[in-house]
Structure formats: C-alpha cells, structure tokens
Amino acid sequence: MKKFRFVDLFAGLGGFHVALDALGGQCVFAAEWKPHLQDLYETNFGLRPAGDITDVLPEMVPDHDVLTAGFPCQPFSKAGEQKGFECTEQGDLFFNVEAIIKAKKPQFFILENVPNLLNHDGGRTWQTIQALLGVGGLGYDIRATRFSPHHFGIPQIRERVYIVGSRSSLSHFEWPEPTHSETSIETVLDAFPPDAKSLSPQVEDCLTQWNKFVKAAPKKLYLPSFPLWSMEWGADYPFEDETPYAVYAAKGMRGLAKFRGSHGRPLRELSGDERWLALPSHARSEQLEFPKWKKDFIRQNRRFYAENCSWIDPWMKDILRFPSSLQKLEWNVQGEKGEVWDYVLQFRASGVRVKRRNTAPSLIAMTDTQVPIIGWERRYMTPRECARLQSLSELKALPSSNSRAFQALGNAVNADVVRAVARALLGQGTRPSKTSLLSEKASRRSIVPELAKAL
C-alpha cells in the first residue's frame, strides 16, 4: 500500500488524523490554536501542532499529498449569525486554507463543514469556494456531498458537507455508498458508568413534570410532531395579521390589556412593562408580522390546547416554575407511547427534545446542559461515550474537564465517515481502523458489519 503524507488544519481532537492514519497516511503538519488541544494532540499522536493558522506562512507547511481542514463552521451555521466570510473572527479562515493549497499544491484535499455552507448567502459562498479552488482558480476538480454518521451505521444524526478536490480528474470518483442500516445508541453506551454526571434536581424535576404530561394524555391520543409550546396554551394575543409589537407601536401598552399572555395570564392585571414581559419570549420580537413558521407553530399549539385543555389545565400549573426554554417539548417519537424516561433526551434552546434510542442527538459544541441524557439510566452521556459517536474511541486522552471535552467533541469530525470519504478519494485499500466502532470489544456489540464494506 502506497504511503502518503497529509496535513491536519484546525486539528481539534484529530478526527482527520485518525482517519488518514488508518489508511496508511503520515501526518507531517498540524495546526490548532487552542493550547489545551495542542497538548492533547501531542499526547495522542506524538506531533505538536502549530498554533493559530493566521500565523502560519504557507511556505512553513511541509510538502504533502493530502490537505484536510474542518475550518470553523459557526460563521455558516444556521444556529449562528451566518456572517460567513464577513465574520472577522473565523469566517475568513478559509482563505488561509486556500493560501496553503495554492503554495503547496497537494494532490488532494478534503474539507468538512456544516451543510448550510452550500446554501449560505444564496449559494454565493459555495460559488466563491468553487471559483477559488476549482478549474478556473487553483485548478482542482471538486465534488461536494452531505453525509451523516448514521448513513454508515453509527448512531448519530449529524449531517455535514464533505468537499473533495483533486488535481487530476474526478470523472471516475464515486462517493462511498451509505449503508442505511439500523442503529442503536446502546451500542456506544457503558452500563451505568461511574463517571457519568447525574441529573440535577431541577432537570429531574422538569423531566418528571413533562413525564406527567405524557402520561396524562388520553390513551388514544398520539402527541403531535410540531414543537409543543406550553406558553401558548391559553394565550390569545394577536399573531396572524399583526403582532404584539404592532399593537404596542400603534396603541402603547394599553393596547395589550385585553389579551392573555403566556399560559393564559390576563394582561389587564398587569401594568406597563409587566404586560410585555408576560408575553411568550418568541412573541416579544420587534416585528410587525411574524414569519410563516412561527405563525404555524402558534396556530397549531392553540388548536392543540383547545382540543385538549380538559387534561392539560390540571397539569399546566406545575410547568410554570421553570424557565421558558424548559416549558417547550419536542416529542420526536411520533406514534409511540411510553414515558419520557424511556428515550434519549436533550435540553436545547428549542425545548426539551425526546428522541428514539436508535440515534443520539447531533453532537454540537455544547455546554454541559446540552449533553444527551440517557433517560432510562437518568444520567448524561460521558465524554468517552460521545467520543465513540465520533469514532474517536482510540484516543488515549480527552480534555480533562467535561465542558472542554464536550465542546471539542461537538467540533470534531467523525473519523469513520472521513475514512470512508478519503478511501474513495485516494482509491486505495485500508487496514482496520483502531478507532472504528467495529473494532470495539464484543461486549460493546459492534454496530453493523455493513460499515466495513463502506470503509
């Protein structure tokens, strides 16, 4: 098998390194700006990354065959401000990658980012990348597609865009074939690990109240797929043709007095700014008209409440003591019964998310409170378990604190997905990856044999 050299830019925990090392590659250069991740990279791979890529001159980078880069995704993510290349802190770092490709002319490159990169700024961001790196720019034949770990039997739904480039034609290149095999999050879990963080009293209380809600629902009722916003249950402020802000702009706070706010609270009982604060937070935006998606959710929630208020009202008083973000439920297990504790749970800005056991929620650069919860064990996932979701179980060391570990794992690339893409690009065989979920001990219950075919 022919050896090749690669560089690992924005290295993080080293997902690209793990993937290309499994294919026989030798890492000759890495760059990572966070000192604690530089230390970890050196511990895990025996190579000290350079620091901030903006301080790296292209001629400093050794010659190499493959360039890899998971350049910062936040400027292009739908969850962020989407400033793209105009983001002065991270959005323009792509141009540092371009400069290295221009100077060193590697045979191949593999880039990874959020799917919205292809649609950002009306598609102009992707057009810019193609113009700079493509045949009309640096001369590379370029392809792009979206993959998620669950496409290859790994129990995580986390779609990312993969961009590959070659100095020779990619006319015969074929992306790896997804297996679409069944997955289960239980294949990456340890049984009641002693280092798992337990739920705080407030978290357990909140989930207990939502569990009471689920159990109170009539047996013949299947909870809906749209987000359940309890603050809309009993509210009647205007939202179709005008907004609370439009009423305020026209009539002042007195114009809101005749309406009911969150959970049906009469606004006439309040004065001044209290009326405004008694509205749901999503209704307090300074808009004369709400977007269609928001109108739809409000309408659906009010209709759901009108049809089910007889059993919702006795329950609703118990949810009032929680912050508004915990007063929302995403029941992503449509058609199923049971309890909240039977599923995988996660606290997001959009509410309490309930998911089936087949996959974990998408790992993001999350805070401790956004780590997936294993409901049936009433605890959070551990960093090691989340590392398995990113096919990084072979790493000798992870960040020392949970907060740093989860943030780094949320930013990491999935090593097995990268390995499948790289193998297809390089057109060569592979030896088994030590980090692959397939190589876990039998007690871990390996994912699916089909993954080996794709890898």
pLDDT beyond 90 at 163: yes
Average pLDDT over residues 216-223: 92
| Encoded amino acid at 394, one letter | E
Catalytic residue check, 206: no
For 405-432, what is each residue's pLDDT tens digit? 999 999 999 999 999 999 999 984 334 3
Q: Quick one: pLDDT band at residue 366, thresholds 50, 70, 90?
A: low
The residues near 73 (Cβ < 8 Å, ≥ 6 apart) are: 113, 114, 117, 411
Tell me if residue 367 falls in helix, strand or coil: coil
Q: Which two tokens stand for residue 228?
A: 């359940």
pLDDT beyond 60 at 81: no
First to last CA, the chain: 16
| Encoded amino acid at 204, one letter | E
The catalytic residue among 27, 73, 206, 386 is 73
Task: Specify which residues 55 forms β-bridges with.
Answer: none
Task: Give the DSSP H or E segment for 38.
Answer: helix 35-45
> Average pLDDT over the chain, rounded to whole?
88
Instruction: Yes or no: say if 184 and 171 are a contact pair by the CB < 8 Å rule.
Output: no
Lowest mean pLDDT among 70-74, 154-158, 248-252, 303-307: 70-74
Average pLDDT over residues 176-198: 92
**Measuring CA to CA, which residue among 199, 212, 214, 233 is closest to residue 333?**
214
Q: Quick one: pLDDT band at residue 91, thresholds 50, 70, 90?
A: low
Average pLDDT over residues 196-201: 94
pLDDT beyond 80 at 447: no
Q: How many CA atoms lie within 13 A of 396 on its CB side?
A: 8
Reported pTM: 0.82
Average pLDDT over residues 221-247: 96
**Measuring CA to CA, which residue among 311, 329, 343, 141 is closest to residue 230?**
329
**Measuring CA to CA, which residue among 230, 261, 181, 180 is closest to residue 331?**
230
Handedness of CA 377, 333, 182, 79 (dihedral sign): negative
Task: Give the DSSP H or E segment for 419.
Answer: helix 415-426
pLDDT beyond 60 at 454: no
Task: Specify which residues 31 forms β-bridges with.
Answer: 9, 50
Domains located in the chain, CATH noted: 4-181+391-454 (3.40.50.150), 201-381 (no CATH)
Q: How many CA atoms lie within 13 A of 374 on its CB side?
A: 21
325 phi and psi angles, rounded to 5 deg? -65, -20
For 23-78, what is each residue's pLDDT tens digit? 999 999 999 999 999 999 999 999 999 989 999 999 999 999 999 999 885 444 44
